[in-house]
């Protein structure tokens, strides 16, 4: 079994910020726009280095998306930054009609996503954004696992032609993946090979899935861990191949049960390889205020919760 160690604790939004600066140095057409939260979404470094390529749009996310669409028509590669709840739900109509319908080359950076946002509470803790974005034709949906992968995903998004949603967390989380590892949109990442069960995970829960795999190994259960960092386009081949091997699946995500990674995997398996499956996700409820650790624990998104679901689905397989 491959063992992963925490190299540091870093925010995914900071990985995006570093990636944005790097892609800005590579490509003079890259521009950034913020909804009055450039510091919070880590666009301040880009704004400092490229002040003539940064636009502060104020608390007006819908206008920001419209401006970005116009810039893309002029050959620019716009990155728009805001809180995930507000750059998806608040401006869904603009994203649908102005970006996706005509396949505009705009990148949406949604920071502060998920329950681990913490103390800001239910109004800011978006847990339905993946469902919203993956439903849109032409939209690519990326959910990196740590700081390093968030940086790599930002670079990949800049090279991709078409609208992209990049989901990012606010809180410091384990950084465990290698530096400068290539990020291929639409290609799942095998982190640990196993034979008894597959743990498909995205975002912050990739680390929890790896810890769950170590816990299961001590029980004599071999867990395959696959990082589904691209929700759309989904790597159906990798999902089906692993499910055929292990014949038991648990999906792990910091999102509602409805419409996220779990439903994406369930759809693929229903069509190609019906397999016993369990979800580790937030039940049909809103968030609340608390520390990130409290939220992940209280909403049953920890390694121990993954192990519990693994036992349940293995019994169903038998």
**Active-site annotation holds for 159:** no
Cβ count near 58 (within 10 Å): 11
End-to-end CA distance of the chain: 24
Task: Please list, residue by residue across 76-87, b when 16 or more beta carbons sit within 10 angstroms of its beta carbon and e when fewer do.
Answer: bbbbbbbbbbbb
- How many angstroms separate the CA atoms of 105 and 108, rounded? 10
User: Among the options 61, 85, 128, 254, which is catalytic?
Assistant: 61
The residues, any chain, with a CB within 8 Å of residue 183's CB and separated by 6 or more, are 144, 149, 152, 153, 155, 156, 229
Q: What H or E segment, with its residue span, contains residue 266?
A: helix 261-272
Residue 297 near residue 318 (C-beta atoms within 8 A): no
Q: ∠ CA(11), CA(296), CA(136), 5° rounding?
A: 70
Residue 278 near residue 313 (C-beta atoms within 8 A): yes
Residue 134 near residue 66 (C-beta atoms within 8 A): no
* Two tokens, residue 207: 């680390």
- Cα 278 to chain centroid, rounded: 20
Q: Where are the alpha helices (DSSP H) in 219-260?
A: 236-246
The residues carrying an active-site annotation are 61
């Amino acid at each position: 079994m491959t063992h992963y160690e925490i190299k540091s604790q870093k925010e995914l939004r900071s990985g995006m910020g570093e990636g944005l600066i790097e892609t800005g140095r590579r490509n003079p057409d890259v521009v950034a726009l913020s909804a009055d939260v450039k510091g919070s979404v880590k666009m301040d470094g880009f704004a400092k280095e490229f002040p003539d390529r940064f636009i502060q749009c104020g608390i007006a996310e819908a206008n920001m998306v419209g401006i970005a669409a116009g810039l893309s028509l002029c050959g620019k590669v716009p990155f728009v930054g805001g809180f995930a709840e507000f750059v998806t739900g608040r401006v869904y109509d603009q994203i649908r009609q102005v970006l996706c319908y005509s396949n505009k080359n705009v990148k949406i950076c949604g920071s502060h996503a998920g329950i681990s946002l913490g103390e800001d509470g239910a109004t800011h803790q978006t847990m339905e954004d993946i469902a919203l974005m993956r439903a849109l034709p032409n939209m690519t949906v990326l959910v990196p696992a740590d700081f390093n992968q968030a940086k790599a995903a930002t670079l990949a998004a800049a090279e991709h032609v078409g609208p992209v949603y990049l989901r990012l967390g606010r809180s410091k989380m384990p950084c465990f993946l290698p530096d400068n590892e290539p990020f291929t949109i639409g290609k799942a990442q095998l982190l640990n090979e196993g034979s008894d069960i597959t743990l498909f995970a995205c975002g912050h829960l990739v680390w929890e899935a790896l810890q769950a795999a170590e816990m299961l190994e001590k029980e004599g259960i071999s867990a395959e861990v696959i990082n589904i960092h691209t929700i759309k386009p989904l790597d159906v081949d990798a999902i089906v191949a692993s499910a055929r091997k292990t014949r038991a699946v648990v999906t792990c995500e910091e999102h509602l049960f409805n419409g996220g990674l779990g439903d994406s995997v369930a759809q693929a398996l229903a069509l190609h390889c019906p397999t016993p499956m369990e979800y580790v996700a937030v039940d049909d409820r809103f968030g609340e205020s608390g520390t990130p650790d409290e939220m992940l624990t209280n909403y049953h998104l920890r390694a121990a919760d993954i192990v519990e679901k693994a036992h349940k689905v293995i019994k169903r397989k038998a």
